[in-house]
Amino acid sequence: MKKIFSLFAAVLFAGSMVAQTTYTFTDVKTPAEAVADGLTFTFQKNSGSTNPQWLANAGEARLYAKGSLTITSSDANITKVVFEYVVNKNKNGKAPTIDGVKGATNAGTWDAETMTWEDATGDTEITLSTSGEAGNLGFKSITVTFEAGVAPAVAKPTFTPETAEFENEVSVSLACETEGAEIFYTLDGTAPTAESAKYEAAFKLTKTTTVKAIAIKGEDKSAVATKVYTKALPTVLPDTITCELAAELALAGRTDNVIVKGYVVAIQDAWNSQHKNVSFWMADTKDGSNTFEAYRVACETAEEAPAVGDLVWAKGTLTKYNSTPETAQGGTFGILEKDLLPAVNLGAKTIEEFLALKNKKDTCILTGVVENIKMDSKDNTQYNAYGNFDLRDETGKVYIYGLLTADGESKKFIEMNINEGDELTVLAIYAEYNGTPQVNDAIFVSVDRVPTAIDNTAVETKTFKTFENGQLVIIKNGIKYNATGAVIR
């Protein structure tokens, strides 16, 4: 999360009485100075979106699609927020979708270009989120009303140790002064609730982590307590580093030239004949999860490309793409030890079976209906040349991130003339992106197209699929093809 600006609302008292305080933020050219502890505004972008930014000449702070604005009160209960904003569409007339405000008792209503959020006594944090492909919201003013001087009924959790930096690992304990309160916490930066992990014993952290905790007793709860435990990364690196260390360094913004050693656990982008490169995920153990990506490292031939299970090294400059730690494009790699068990084809599977296997090494044959084909992001007038879409059968669906021809060529999707509703058969290997299953660079096998008016005037042909001697055989117009599309003679 990148903190764009912080400002604080004044806390006003009338004798010993509780006061309702309103603060209106309008100065978007230079952030207002702190006048008292109170409110913090945090703009955040999501993966693939544009960073929020100040636009002084327009007099607004812009929040782009796939972003969020979180308002946190350290001591007081926020009771009302009014957003005055403008919708800035892109050149194609697209604007972000306003998903609403999380954390509200009353979700609020949008009226023209003002949104009022209120009636949330007890809440100390709200988040307005946006989604969509383009455009932005330009905030002209944000007015916040809150109850000043209202002490939480439950004390904030405290952290042990207080020191926020560690070398190898740190054991973290949580406590609350309120007797009988239960503590719940998160390790991913999200606000904890009674549905989060319940604290029972100290837990260990091995990498930089944002810990948030809340104490709850009956209907009462504390304000959220936050502490960031930061792992001290080495300044001088050994000749070869682990995947875990490489990921930590890259995510911390380091740009060292390194050699990373690990096992290939997933192929992100198959060997590309045009650019002669390959992308793959690495981990420190053979059965590890995607830890560090070797991005578009040089590879002259398909035979030299690594396979899942191989022990490899990857050399390049550390970088990060959104939340992905990787080597910058143009690095090199080498295979230290080939996996003794070669990849095999597991045959035809339903999508449900394919997802359950989670096999990142062996291929499966999937057949389903094409849905939700992604359009070209430049003008949205034609399909994306790579071929990104959902494939659905009667058991479920999976996202296809790139469709290759039977010969392994990429960016040929438009020429392949595949449309929504067509029944498509592909050769697939299980992969994940940010924990979500998908197929990277599926290989085309066959397609049964949705009939058109022109098709109906011609002699209808049908593609049949069968197995002979354990091998998938596609029969079309009397000609037999194998799973890669080659003619069987």
In angstroms, the CA 331 to CA 317 distance is 7
- Count, residues in the chain: 489
Please give the single-letter amino acid code of residue 191. A
Predicted TM-score of the model (pTM)? 0.52
Instruction: Tell me the DSSP string of 326-364.
Output: EEPTT-EEEEEE--SS---EEEE--HHHHHHH--SSSEE
Lowest mean pLDDT among 74-83, 205-214, 274-283: 74-83
Query: Contact at 8 Å (CB) between 268 and 277?
Result: no
Residue 135 pLDDT level (bands cut at 50, 70, 90) = confident
Return the pLDDT at 40.
Answer: 52
Q: Alpha carbon 173 to chain centroid distance? A: 29
Instruction: Tell me the DSSP string of 393-458.
Output: ETTEEEEEEEEE-TT--SS-HHHHT--TT-EEEEEE-EEEETTEEEEEEEEEEEEEPPP-HHHHHS
Query: Contact at 8 Å (CB) between 411 and 382?
Result: no
478-481's contacts with Cβ under 8 Å and 24+ in sequence apart are 481/445, 481/446
In angstroms, the CA 261 to CA 270 distance is 20
Return the pLDDT at 34.
Answer: 30
| Residues whose CB is less than 8 angstroms from the CB of residue 112 and which lie 6 or more positions away in sequence, other chains included | none
The Cα-based distances of 310 to 282, 306, 341, 435 in angstroms read 10, 6, 10, 22
The Cα-based distances of 269 to 215, 275, 336, 355, 442 in angstroms read 45, 12, 20, 19, 10
Q: How large is the average pLDDT for residues 84-90?
A: 72
The pair of structure tokens assigned to 335 is 């295979």
Residue 341 pLDDT level (bands cut at 50, 70, 90) = confident
Q: How large is the average pLDDT for residues 301-322?
A: 93
Please give the single-letter amino acid code of residue 332. T
In angstroms, the CA 191 to CA 68 distance is 14
pLDDT at 425 exceeding the cut of 90: yes
Return the pLDDT at 384.
Answer: 85
pLDDT at 463 exceeding the cut of 70: no
In angstroms, the CA 186 to CA 198 distance is 9
In angstroms, the CA 394 to CA 368 distance is 8
